[in-house]
Structure 1
Amino acid sequence: MQHLRTGHYRWRTEQAYRHWAGRFVRWLEERRRTRTVPSGALDLQAVTEADVKEFLSEMATRQRTSASSQKQALNAIVFLLREVYGHELGDFSDFTRAAHNPRIPVVLSRAECRQLFAALDGTTRLMAELMYGSGLRLMELLGLRVKDVDLDRQQLVVRAGKGDKDRVTVLPESLSERLRLHRDWLHGIFDEDRRTGAPGVWLPEGLERKYPKAGESWEWQWFFPSRQFMTDPRSGVKRRHHILDATFQQTIRQAARKAQLNKRVTPHVLRHSFATHLLESGTDIRTLQELLGHKDVATTQIYTHVMKKPGLGVRSPLDTAG
């Protein structure tokens, strides 16, 4: 953990690396038992390229894991061996790679979006509408700070999005007044936290070292804070965090059932719907790529397959028969 934290890795990355490192070690230990290797402590500095290759290949062939999971496991194992144990491996790039099968995203129609929003209320409805209206990823939504929501310029700044990149996206004008009222409500929570001497909100480590009191400043407060204080898993400090991702995910699933939607709805479906609806309205693919924060336009092009009129408006022959 110390190596991950001194490297300023995100909490989710730390969790993922610990998970995959643990699975790799357990796999090595299990293999030692099945191959009747002499007992003794497992020496990770004795791990070979063949060991890593076999583990990764097994992920693809026996476990049928996704390409993204296999890549994450690879990064975690290399980090564990090289950064933690100082063990440099040779070339093992010829492992069996997991199949990369692009999936057609689930997209809601505009009417279905309205049905979903109607099944929500209060802050959760505002969050869902903002996620759809700005094309945010879930953690980008939850990680918004007060300073990132620019109501005067009608812009929303996503800080350290996927790939640790910042970007600017649209802020729906229709939400301006409700966002302003929500921000006023937040100020009351902020004032109460300052009055009671509550610890400041979490900040990236480098910023916290440079500005120790910045977490107590208004502009750094979470835009969607939790109602209760929670213990920071890294520092142990009990402070106000943003709303948990699992909480919001569960709320969206419940709303989809209440709205009787015939699709599997997750928060990310709102981002898919944002992209598809903009394409259907004539937004060019490069502009959409920038709004979504995609590194490669090929990732954005997946949405052309779920537009309302795919294939340049080709009609089914059944519609013209007879």
Structure 2
Amino acid sequence: MTLIEAVRATIRRLHYSPRTEEAYIHWIRQFFRFHHGKHPRQMGAEEVTAFLNDLAVARRSAASTQNQALCALLFLYKRVLDLQIPQLEALERARRPEHLATVLSRKDALTLLEHLIPPLRLIGELLYGSGLRLLEALSIRVKDVDLDRRQITVRRGKGQHDRPALLPVRARGELQAQLDAVAQRHEKELAVRRGEVDLPHALRAKMPGAATSLAWQYLFPASRPCTDPATGRQVLYHLHGSRRGHRGLAVRCRRDACAAGHA
């Protein structure tokens, strides 16, 4: 197992998000290149500080960028290599600029939502009315929607915690229509012996029928299936929150699963 493979294995064992995995791998590779491929066990606080200072001073990276790189390197040393890094006393911290937040008025927000095309309008309603992050909204499954209680259950949100979110009253009609559309599509998929979705962790072994059940289908499914890297089976994933692609949302599976598609 290479070091990068060990990093991936550790991230997945700890159930970090795919985005965190992608970011950490990126910065660890940048760290290698900066020190000409030198192994991290042969480096310490001095080399880590030099790399992070280069980000802040030479590359003039944002404070959030430098912090993300620092977290990636701390993960590499503590979680993967089981080594402790001494205090980074000579670290030059990138300055965090002070900006006044630009917040849309209620009227402006509603006007913006009215110009979105379904299902993007419903996604926008959930972001605005339920306070969901984009990936949290896209990852909603049918079973997570409770119209009677006007509640959406967010699974593995920030910090890998579940939490309830209020369902906006104005989104109830569109949400019911989207649930009906997902159910109709799922029936057609099952008729041609498809309709599987990816399942978290070891749930496929515990609940073999969950992958083809309506309850586990995504509320905002992709237009076509892709290969699940964990099982090698063809599964249906959710819309991907990329800016590229048709109507601002590309339909794409995980980067290590299959190539990008279009809605």
TM-score (norm 2): 0.81
Q: Secondary structure at the match of 1:133?
A: helix
Which of 9, 14, 22 is the aligned partner of 2:16?
A: 9
The one-letter amino acid paired with 2:200 is P
Q: Which residue of 2 aligns with 1:131?
A: 127
Specify the alignment match of 1:301 in structure 2.
none
| 2:208 is aligned with 1:201 | no
- Is residue 49 from structure 1 mapped to residue 45 from structure 2 by the alignment? yes
Whichever residue aligns with residue 19 of structure 2, its letter is: R
Q: Quote how far apart the aligned CAs of 1:190 are.
A: 1.7
Q: Structure 2, unaligned stretches of length 5 or more?
A: 1-7, 250-263
1:47-86 pair list within 5 angstroms: 47-86=43-82
Letter aligned with residue 73 of structure 1: A
In structure 2, what is the equivalent of residue 19 of structure 1?
26
Q: CA deviation at 1:233?
A: 5.4
Equivalences, count: 242
- Give % identity: 36
**Counterpart-to-counterpart distance in 1, 2:142 and 2:98:** 36
Q: What is the distance in 1 between the residues matched to 2:101 and 2:231?
A: 38
Shift of 1:183: 0.5
Task: Identify the residue that residue 164 of structure 1 maps to in structure 2.
Answer: 160
Asked if 2 retains the 8 angstrom alpha-carbon contact of 1:70 and 1:98, the reply is yes
The equivalent residue for 2:259 is: none
Max Rg structure: 1
- Bigger shift: residues 17-26 or 193-202: 193-202
Indicate the SS of the match to 2:22.
helix
Contact 2:32 2:39 in 1 (8 A): no
Q: Which has the higher contact order (CA 8 A, sep 6+)?
A: 1
Gaps of at least 5 residues in structure 1 are 30-40, 254-322
Whole-angstrom CA distance in 2 between matches of 1:139 and 1:80:
25
Distance 1:226 1:247, change over 3 A: farther
Q: Please tell me whether residue 120 in structure 1 is matched to residue 116 in structure 2.
A: yes
Aligned residue for 1:110? 106
Distance 1:17 1:235, change over 3 A: farther
Tell me: CA distance 1:212–1:93, structure 2 relative to 1, closer, same or farther (3 Å).
Answer: farther
Residue 168 of structure 1, CA deviation: 1.9
SS at match of 1:75: helix
Q: Alignment RMSD, CA only?
A: 2.5
8 Å CA contact 1:124–1:248 kept in 2: the answer is: no
More helix, by proportion = 1
Deviations along 1:189-219, one digit per CA (max 9) or x if unpaired, are 2222333333632222143443344222222
Q: Tell me which residue corresponds to 1:225.
A: 221
Letter aligned with residue 243 of structure 1: L
Q: Give the TM-score normalised by structure 1.
A: 0.67
From the superposition, tell whether residues 248 and 140 of structure 1 become closer, same or farther in structure 2 (CA, over 3 Å). Answer: farther
d(CA) in 1 for partners of 2:120 and 2:225? 19
2:147 aligns to what? Answer: 151
- 8 Å CA contact 1:3–1:84 kept in 2: the answer is yes
| Match of residue 175, structure 2, among 171, 179, 185 | 179
Per the alignment, do residues 179 and 202 of structure 1 end up closer, same or farther by CA in structure 2, a change over 3 Å counting? Answer: same
Are residues 188 and 81 of structure 1, via their aligned partners in 2, closer, same or farther at CA, if it must alter by over 3 Å?
A: same
Amino acid at match of 2:185: I
Give 1:317's aligned residue.
Answer: none
Other-structure match for 1:239: 235
